Amino acid sequence: MSETVTFKLNGKDVTVPKGTTVMEAARRENVEIPHFCWHPGLSVAGVCRFCMVKVEGRPKLEIACNLQATNGMDVKTDTEEAKSAHKWALEFHLINHPLDCPICDQAGECGLQDYYMSVGKYQSQMTRPKVLKPKMLDVGRDLVLDTERCILCSRCVRFEEEVTKTGALGIFDRGDRAIIGTYPGEKIDHNYQTNLVDICPVGAFTSRDFRFKQRVWFLKDKPAVCPGCSTGCSVDVYGKPETRSYFRLKPRKGEANGHWMCDKGRHMYSHLNQDVRLRTALTTDAQGRRKDTNFAGAIEDLGKRIAAVNPATDVALLVSAQHTSEEYKSLFDFFVGELGIKKVFQWREPTEKIDAFDGLLYRGDHNANTSGLLSALKEAGLAAGLKNEFDAVASSGAKIVIAVTPEVPSTFPSFEQQLNRLTELDFVSFWTLAGSVADNKKTKHAIPMKGFPEKKGTFINHEGKAGKLDSPFPCPVADGRDLTEIIAALKQWRHSHGSR
Amino acid sequence: MGDTLTKVKITTAFEGKPNARALKTYVDNGGYAGLKKAFTMQPGQVIDEVKAAGLRGRGGAGFPTGMKWSFVPKDDKGPKYIICNNDESEPGTFKDRYITECNPHMILEGMIIAGFAIGANKGYIYTRYDFFEEIKWLETAIREAYDAGFLGDNILGTGFKFHIDHYAGAGAYICGEETGLLSSLEGKKGQPKLKPPFPAISGYLHRPTIVNNTETLAAVPWIINHGAAAHKTMGTEKSPGTKLFCLSGRVKRPGVYELPLGYPIEKLINEDAGGMLPGYNIKACIPGGSSAPILTAEELKGLTLDYEAIAAKGSMLGSGAIMIIDDSMSMVELLKVTVDFYHHESCGQCTPCREGTGWLANIMTGIMAGQGKKDDLQRMFEISRNMEGKTICALSDAAAMPTKSIVTKFGAEIADFIERGKRA
């Protein structure tokens, strides 16, 4: 048991580990202390001077972020003096702020707006012209910087120093002329840029990707796990169910990722939107004519084909590692357990460097559930090595290949090439999200799948830790199913048609 | 109570001597005797002596020097640092420059004694960039001290090692704030550091560091040489010793005066400085550099120059820069140049200072341009009040205090300016 201290916070006794700041303790106790520069994932800067609290017996207000709680300390966050300090701190932050909320992406999730409602609500006293600063600066691939909106909290500067260790940002000039920026001729160049948009408490850093696409109050966010690599960052997916569209991913504090996520992961929504998705099931009739069908039609077609062959020798399964452990279980229970097929292969990227790691979050294994797939294979009594097995599929002699494609084609540079190769085989049923499967004229059979924010289940990350998907969005594609639902439908069809 | 009228000179003892800055002149007149005496004492005794002498920081804050030294962890094996803050930039102040001009060896000796006291083997002098001549003099003195064995790996054969490097700032006022100075010395942007931790625990390069003003360090050799008791015979009980006062304004003899603390200000102005120039009368006085709240002519009556007496009038002794404001001067212009200065010099990290100094300057620009508003006075008072005590360093207070006092004490003159849109 580590040493603890007990102090009073707004009259209530609070016990925290020694060394805890009043800010941290207040967060634990759900006591709101307004702040801009303090961030749980960064060092203490103590510059916004917003988090002023009263410590009984001390002459001046102190900042909660740099104040360690000590035994017997009597801290109040809501005295008239503290409240006045909060209001004034906010006013100082706002006097030169452009107040361009109507055209600012941050509106709706902006610290200045939120705090104005909670500690402000004053009449502005600013009667003079404001300080003007550079706007719309291109400081990096994913970023647009507006230094006029900036409140100089220095979170971004500390992020670049402490997290990415690139030191790419600095504060130039001084006083109210100070601006955030990159060094002359340089830009931010790393895979973690959009975190700056998240940690920026105002609209100074906006995301080039998200900019002007949607007002945030129309979005719903649901927790999920990023499917982009084997780290398994906890994320929130932001979508708009009414229009069946997705807009962005943001990191949610989690064991695997702390406060951050990478820019590659940020794009793990773009494969979910309808324009790039397989929207209907496909079958091909006896005359070789391909047609759109519904889910039941595709299942019937596939059911018939499987019934016409000896599955144990004639059906092969090609599986990628981007689906949930629960899905793999139902997949193998059926194909291996019930149908007795032996030909199970993995769809992996030939160029992948599975052990690569950038030292922060991003891993070379671009599959969220390699661990889950390997243990499901083992459970099913199959060889569970990591290998790319397209050649093995092609030479397996299977008459029917079920290809469960990677969910996110962009993580597989050879996706289209492999797709082309597979369409050369006798009959491949693609279970996929990728619209390009239908675009390929040689595709004979396809079933649309649900994406990760649309299903429940588990990804096992590289450390063997489970990440849960448990609060699904409605699937934008009417016929979209997860593997468990496809298997259930196939079983149902076989049951009602007398085959076992 | 000590002698508040003594003529003893400590830091300006070499004023006017021929070849004053030379090592030989210094040594021939008792220089480095304090150091030799310090070497016969224990480091702790040196700290105790400075404590007993009641020496207070001469840079502005007046913090007891011996106490500051005692905050350095004794069991810390180093490196520890002594920094001489020679970045004199408080408007109206020109005393550290004068000490350097009189005899830079006094500063070096003070630093070596301080280093011995706290167990530091390295010192830096951080000099204001535009002291071109003084920088040369200091560097010459450092070379002389090395050559004579007062600096080096084995000083005077005692085995004590102390080195001094000289560093010139780049001209920022904020680098005279002790932690701003440390940031600058570390090669970073000159911005004060968040406290705690204080420099005595974690300062230059995160090591225990003492930053003392030039005048403070220059007084140390005398104290060690003559003893704390001798020091206490001068000045007042709580403000012992002598202090340099930089008198400016339309007096007959402006300049640097070394006077015992507790000296009557009227005596300084009317006798030492010969009174006001013909045709001018005192309207007000800024007693401790531009950061100090202004005093009216009335408030100077009977005022003595010590920390307590000036604090009792609601102002501060500060750096000892006494600026006489005469009746020809406009308080609006005075306030304008004051807030412009702090606006220009605010480092910008703390919001109330960054925005507050800018806001004050912005309002004053409006007033000067004849666009003042009736409630500007009240607004400036409120802005200042909310800039005070809210930031990492004292620059915000330094801008707020004079503003508050000027708009309070000379509100009528400013209101009249606003009304007319120009000076009456």
Average pLDDT over residues B375-400: 97
Contacts of A308 (CB under 8 A, 6+ apart): none
For residues A441 and A427, what is the distance between their CA atoms, to the nearest angstrom? 13
Mapped onto helix, strand or coil, the DSSP state of residue A469 is strand
Written as six digits, the tokens of B313 are 């009038």
pLDDT exceeds 80 at position B292: yes
For residues A391 and B309, the model is more confident at B309
Does A83 contact chain B (CB < 8 Å)?
A: no
Task: State whether A171 and B348 contact (CB < 8 Å).
Answer: yes
Does A157 contact chain B (CB < 8 Å)?
A: no
Task: State whether A92 and B391 contact (CB < 8 Å).
Answer: no
Written as six digits, the tokens of B272 are 């030492």
Q: Phi and psi at residue B296, in whole multiples of 5°?
A: -80, 165
Q: Are A388 and A353 in contact (CB under 8 A)?
A: no
A97: nearest CA partner in chain B: B355
Residue with tokens 């007084």: B219
Within the 196-215 window of chain B, which residues sit less than 8 Å (CB to CB) from chain A? 196
Q: Which amino acid is at B6?
A: T
Task: State whether B345 and A128 contact (CB < 8 Å).
Answer: no
Crossing angle of the two packed helices B376-387 and A80-94, in degrees rounded to 10: 110
Does A178 contact chain B (CB < 8 Å)?
A: yes
Written as six digits, the tokens of A133 are 């600063």
DSSP label at residue B75 = T
Query: Testing the interface with B: which of A127, A147, A179 to mutate, by most B Cβ within 10 A?
Result: A127
| Cβ neighbours of A171 in B, within 8 Å | 189, 348-349
Does B313 contact chain A (CB < 8 Å)?
A: no
Does A66 contact chain B (CB < 8 Å)?
A: yes
Angstroms from B384 CA to nearest CA on chain A: 11
A153: nearest CA partner in chain B: B349
| Cβ neighbours of B377 in A, within 8 Å | none
pLDDT at res. A226: 97
For residues A54 and A326, what is the distance between their CA atoms, to the nearest angstrom? 53
Per-residue pLDDT of chain A (500 residues; tens, 9 = 90+): 579 999 999 999 999 999 999 999 999 999 999 999 999 999 999 999 999 999 999 999 999 999 999 999 999 999 999 999 999 999 999 999 999 999 999 999 999 999 999 999 899 999 999 999 999 999 999 999 999 999 999 999 999 999 999 999 999 999 999 999 999 999 999 999 999 999 999 999 999 999 999 999 999 999 999 999 999 999 999 999 999 999 999 999 999 999 999 999 999 999 999 999 999 999 999 898 999 999 999 999 999 999 999 999 999 999 999 999 999 999 999 999 999 999 999 999 988 899 999 999 999 999 999 999 999 999 999 987 788 888 899 899 999 999 999 999 999 999 999 999 999 999 999 999 999 999 999 999 999 999 999 999 999 999 999 999 999 999 999 999 999 999 999 999 999 987 65
A220-225/A466-469 β-pairing: unpaired
pLDDT at res. A388: 80
Task: State whether B348 and A173 contact (CB < 8 Å).
Answer: yes
The domain defined by B331-420 carries CATH number 3.40.50.300: no
Mapped onto helix, strand or coil, the DSSP state of residue B122 is strand
pLDDT at res. A384: 77
| Cβ neighbours of A92 in B, within 8 Å | 351-352, 354-356, 359, 386
Q: How far is CA B253 from CA A42, B11, B13, B173, in A?
A: 55, 20, 20, 27
Element (H, E) at A448: strand A445-448
pLDDT of B314-328, one tens digit each? Answer: 999 999 999 999 999
Task: State whether A66 and B350 contact (CB < 8 Å).
Answer: no
Report the residue count for chain B.
424
A50: nearest CA partner in chain B: B351
For residues A268 and A247, what is the distance between their CA atoms, to the nearest angstrom? 10
For residues B279 and B276, what is the distance between their CA atoms, to the nearest angstrom? 8
pLDDT of A353-407, one tens digit each? Answer: 999 999 999 999 999 999 999 999 999 999 877 888 888 998 999 999 999 999 9
Q: How far is CA B345 from CA A37, A433, B418, in A?
A: 22, 59, 26
pTM: 0.94
pLDDT of B133-154, one tens digit each? Answer: 999 999 999 999 999 999 999 9
Task: State whether A128 and B363 contact (CB < 8 Å).
Answer: yes
CB pairs under 8 A, 24+ apart, for A335-342?
A335/A311, A335/A402, A336/A380, A336/A381, A336/A382, A337/A380, A338/A491, A338/A500, A339/A306, A339/A311, A339/A312, A339/A315, A340/A311, A340/A312, A341/A311, A341/A312, A341/A315, A341/A316, A341/A317, A342/A312, A342/A313, A342/A382
Contacts of B198 (CB under 8 A, 6+ apart): B71
Residue A102: asked if its preceding bond is cis (omega within 30°), the reply is no
In degrees, to the nearest 5, what angle opens at C-alpha B19 toward C-alphas B16 and B24?
120
Task: State whether A152 and B347 contact (CB < 8 Å).
Answer: no
Does A82 contact chain B (CB < 8 Å)?
A: no
Query: Testing the interface with A: which of B336, B346, B355 to mutate, by most A Cβ within 10 A?
Result: B355
For residues B331 and B335, what is the distance between their CA atoms, to the nearest angstrom? 6
For residues B391 and B172, what is the distance between their CA atoms, to the nearest angstrom? 18
Q: What's the complex ipTM?
A: 0.94
Within the 159-178 window of chain B, which residues sit less than 8 Å (CB to CB) from chain A? 172, 174
pLDDT at res. A1: 55
pLDDT at res. A500: 53
Query: Closest partner residue to A47 among B174, B350, B362, by Cβ?
Result: B350
Q: Strand A62-63's sheet: what is its strand order? A: A12-17, A4-9, A74-76, A52-55, A62-63
Does A466 contact chain B (CB < 8 Å)?
A: no
Does A67 contact chain B (CB < 8 Å)?
A: no
Q: Are B259 and B384 in contact (CB under 8 A)?
A: no
pLDDT of B42-98, one tens digit each? Answer: 999 999 999 999 999 999 989 999 999 999 999 999 899 999 999 999 999 999 999
For residues A431 and A411, what is the distance between their CA atoms, to the nearest angstrom? 17
Instruction: State the fold for domain B242-326.
Output: Ubiquitin-like (UB roll) (3.10.20)
For residues B152 and B145, what is the distance between their CA atoms, to the nearest angstrom? 9
| Cβ neighbours of A177 in B, within 8 Å | 348
Q: How far is CA A361 from CA A143, A187, A232, in A?
A: 20, 21, 9
Which is nearest to B353 in space by CA: B337, B333, B339? B339
Residue B148's DSSP bridge partners are none
Q: Phi and psi at residue A53, in whole multiples of 5°?
A: -130, 160
Task: State whether A93 and B365 contact (CB < 8 Å).
Answer: no
Query: Testing the interface with B: which of A174, A177, A179, A180 to mutate, by most B Cβ within 10 A?
Result: A174
Task: State whether A125 and B391 contact (CB < 8 Å).
Answer: no
Name the band, by pLDDT with cuts 50, 70 and 90, for residue B422: very high
A–B CB contacts, 8 A cutoff, strictly below = 94
Residue with tokens 């194909």: A335
Does B363 contact chain A (CB < 8 Å)?
A: yes
Q: How far is CA A444 from CA A302, A403, A420, A441, in A?
A: 11, 12, 12, 8
Report the residue count for chain A.
500
| Centroid of chain to Cα A315 | 35
For residues A194 and B128, what is the distance between their CA atoms, to the nearest angstrom? 42
Task: State whether A93 and B386 contact (CB < 8 Å).
Answer: no
> SS3 for A351-391, per residue?
CCCCCCECCCCCECCCCCCHHHHHHHHHHCCCCCCCCCCHH
Contacts of B352 (CB under 8 A, 6+ apart): A49, A88, A89, A92, B386, B387, B390, B391, B396
pLDDT at res. A351: 86
| Cβ neighbours of A93 in B, within 8 Å | 351, 355
For chain B, the domains span 23-232, 242-326, 331-420
Angstroms from B220 CA to nearest CA on chain A: 32
- B274-294 as b/e, with b when 16 or more CB fall inside 10 Å? eebeeebebbbbbbbbbbbbb
Does A80 contact chain B (CB < 8 Å)?
A: no
How many of the other CB atoms lie within 10 Å of CB of A136? 10
Q: Are A232 and A256 in contact (CB under 8 A)?
A: yes
Domains and CATH numbers, chain A: 4-94 (3.10.20.740), 101-272 (3.30.70.20), 275-496 (3.40.50.740)
Does A218 contact chain B (CB < 8 Å)?
A: no
Query: Closest partner residue to A128 among B174, B357, B366, by Cβ?
Result: B366
Task: State whether B351 and A126 contact (CB < 8 Å).
Answer: no
Q: Are B137 and B104 in contact (CB under 8 A)?
A: yes
For residues B192 and A445, what is the distance between their CA atoms, to the nearest angstrom? 68
Task: State whether A61 and B194 contact (CB < 8 Å).
Answer: no
For residues A448 and A479, what is the distance between their CA atoms, to the nearest angstrom? 6
CATH number of B23-232: 3.40.50.11540
Task: State whether A152 and B386 contact (CB < 8 Å).
Answer: no
Which is nearest to B391 in space by CA: B200, B210, B195? B195
Does A283 contact chain B (CB < 8 Å)?
A: no
Query: Closest partner residue to B354 among A88, A152, A170, by Cβ?
Result: A152
pLDDT at res. A69: 97
Task: State whether A127 and B373 contact (CB < 8 Å).
Answer: yes
Angstroms from A93 CA to nearest CA on chain B: 7
